[in-house]
Amino acid sequence: MVCSGNWSLASTFIVVGFEAVRETELFLFCLFLLIYIITIGAHLLIIGLVAIDRCLHKPMYVFLTNFSVAEIVYATATMPKMLDGLLTQNKEISYSACLVQFYFFFTFGNSENLLLSAMAYDRYVAICHPLRYSAIMNRHTCVTICSVCCVCAFLHAFLHAIVTSRLDFHHQEHIPHFFCDIPPLLEISSSDTTFNQLLIFTEGSLVALVPSSLTVLSYVRIIISILRIRSSTGRRKTFSTCYSHLTIVILFYSTVIFMYFRPSSFYSPTYDRVISIVYSVIIPMLNPFIYSLRNKEIKSALRKMISIRFHPN
């Protein structure tokens, strides 16, 4: 253990991960490797489609591109180390690597939260103020919103990384998780974590509550507008433009609320690992398919790209 003033650094942690027999670990390695490849490939495909198809050069897809970039980094922050642990059984992670992993995971997870709010606002303007959409959601507005999302996410993660780094840990402390996240780190710390818990429920709640409130408010206004449409066909068509986004919002917030905004007495390593698999592995893979399968413009762009690739003339 290296100490400097009030700072106390464990040289390494042991990431427990999945305690299973070797055959199960190899099966999980193959499964999660396949999921990781699909996740990266699907998000890169969305980024590529938006980049090359002019029909997708719209604010909604600008936000979606940024969301896909965030998802790629979000998944990459945890999955390669998890895969290495399953394949080589090397469970060690250095203290500095643990903090870096935690920082990037937290940064881009929060970026997704903010971008979901931006996408909800985009749908609100498109449905409730269609004639003013182009004027409100112009290029300058999109760049500003994306920049604010990135800056806020980086600062939020930096604050929690600094506070977490000042905790004391025993040498080669075992982390009952498959990556460095706040709940398991607080659980194994030998320091008083009251301030960290307070920070999560105050600043963390504020950072989560503001965008989530904007998302809820946007959808309340959207639903009211949809209900005013007399035609049932018109209501279905209008709702279909935000159905995929709403699905992702529900998946994202349900897992985040369970994981971070609950009393420490409810902490359970087993349940937390299961929930973490859902929000850090499964959901990033599902998100691009939720968007592409429910989005006519993306499916049209994909068909066009396939047509050009296999029938260039």
Q: pLDDT (tens digit, 9 = 90+) per residue, 101-114? A: 989 998 998 999 89
Segment 246-284, tens digit of pLDDT: 888 888 887 777 766 666 556 566 677 777 888 888 889
**Percent of residues, the chain, with pLDDT higher than 70:** 90
Most confident of the ranges 33-37, 97-101, 276-280: 33-37
Average pLDDT over the chain, rounded to an integer: 84
pLDDT reported for residue 226: 85
* Residue burial 112-126, b: 16+ Cβ < 10 Å; e: rest: bbbbbbbbbbbbbbb
The one-letter amino acid at 247: T
Note the pTM of the prediction, 2 decimals: 0.85
- Does residue 45 carry a pLDDT above 80? yes
End-to-end CA distance of the chain: 66
